[in-house]
Amino acid sequence: MSIDATHDPAARSWVELANEEGCDFPIQNLPFGVFAGKGSRGRIGVAIGDQVLDVAGAIETEAVTFSGEVASALSAETLNDIMSLGPPAWKAVRATLFSLLQEDSPRQDRLLRSMAETTMQLPAAIGDYTDFYASRHHATNVGRMFRPDGEPLMPNWLHLPVGYHGRASSIAVSGTNVTRPSGQLKPEDGPPVFGPCKLLDYELEFGAFVGTGNEMGTPIAIGEAMDHLFGVVILNDWSARDVQKWEYQPLGPFNAKNFASTISPWVVTMDALLPFRSDGPARQDDDPPLLEYLTPVRGSGDAIDVTAEVHVCSQAMRESDIPPMRLSRGTLANLSWSFSQMLAHHTSTGCPMRPGDMLGSGTVSGPEKDSRGCLLELSWRGQEPIDLPDGTQRRFLQDGDTLTISAFCERPGAARVGFGSCEATILPAR
């Protein structure tokens, strides 16, 4: 894929709000999502300004014309079918919808619905979900906490993208409340007990959706990996830290991670992200050389520069009309392993990937304290509590807290592209 007219920062839409400065969804973005139609049946939509374009409706009214295969895929209840068709189809659909929404095209207001009055659903039927551990800063911070006298990074970390298989069935769309999990906890001075998690945490992440998959036994080459990825969402991988520290040895995350993960509803396509992609990610001078199958190919644009902000709002803050407080600000560009490296490594064994599978980045943290992507790091295992405007402190999340992650891309010479938000409120344990 290459930069074309759909990325022109001067392009404008007949949807007025899409042209306003700071809008997440200008005509240069056109992210895909699924909204609830009649009887909650999913319909594919595209975000533009403060509106949702009904893509299936555009096809039904012949406002746009696609081939039978593409039209059928865009009329489905999830994005899986259009994800499966690959970059040429994705690019053609994007160009057609761009033309439909351009300022000098006839208005099609009947195809729009207010975003504020629209219920969004999961964008895809997620068959499998793998979460990685791709931030060097996060891995180093956690290593220093739990191995203060040893090397913070495990011996394999600089050689391969470490990951674990998550639970796809517990992925929910933004706005879905999260119930505090209960689990087996190990007090310092006694036997295990079962009860509500006390150390509930968020993790600022991003998720990449697989588009075209691969046959079992056939790896995806690193130079082709980005063409197998459809787009990116914000991901909050909720974590029960006290459950995690007791159960994770020797096999890693299990119940501490399987109760909920939240994603934003709009999938920002890899094509829309082209102005913000570059070669990478960068390696440090003393890092070991990468094996060939993980070595990025020049010009493939594996690294993506996306800024994210995390805000928290307690129940008391909401009741007193106190605005949410920012906890941290980070960037996807800080990752030491890219989504293409994750996909190449994941399939290097011949593991088959399918349209709609999701790869999580792992916690996105940066070098500064205010760029740490979870409370485990921000409060340094609870030793440095965070003061909230309501007079309370947070070491970890409390019931009633609302956690919101927003994200956007900005670069000189390009239109700003946003992701919307990923939000959930913590409910008491059942």
In eight-state DSSP terms, residue 331 is: E
8 A C-beta contact, residue 66 and residue 59:
yes
Q: Which of 138, 228, 345, 346 is catalytic?
A: 138
String of b and e for 266-304 (b: at least 16 CB within 10 Å)? bbbbbbbbbbbbbebbeeeeeeeeeeeebebeeebbbbb
Q: Is 26 exposed, middle or buried (0-12, 13-18, 19+ CB in 10 A)?
A: buried
C-alpha distances out from residue 402 to 2, 315, 382, Å: 39, 8, 19
Helix (H) or strand (E) holding 36: strand 32-36
DSSP string, 233-250: EEEEE-EEHHHHHHH-TT
Yes or no: say if 397 and 225 are a contact pair by the CB < 8 Å rule.
no
Residue 200: beta bridge partners? 240, 397
Is 165 labeled as catalytic in the residue annotation? no
Amino acid at site 91: K
CA 50 to chain CA mean position, Å: 21
346-to-156, 215, 221, 372 alpha-carbon distances in Å:
15, 13, 11, 26
- The catalytic site residues sit at 138
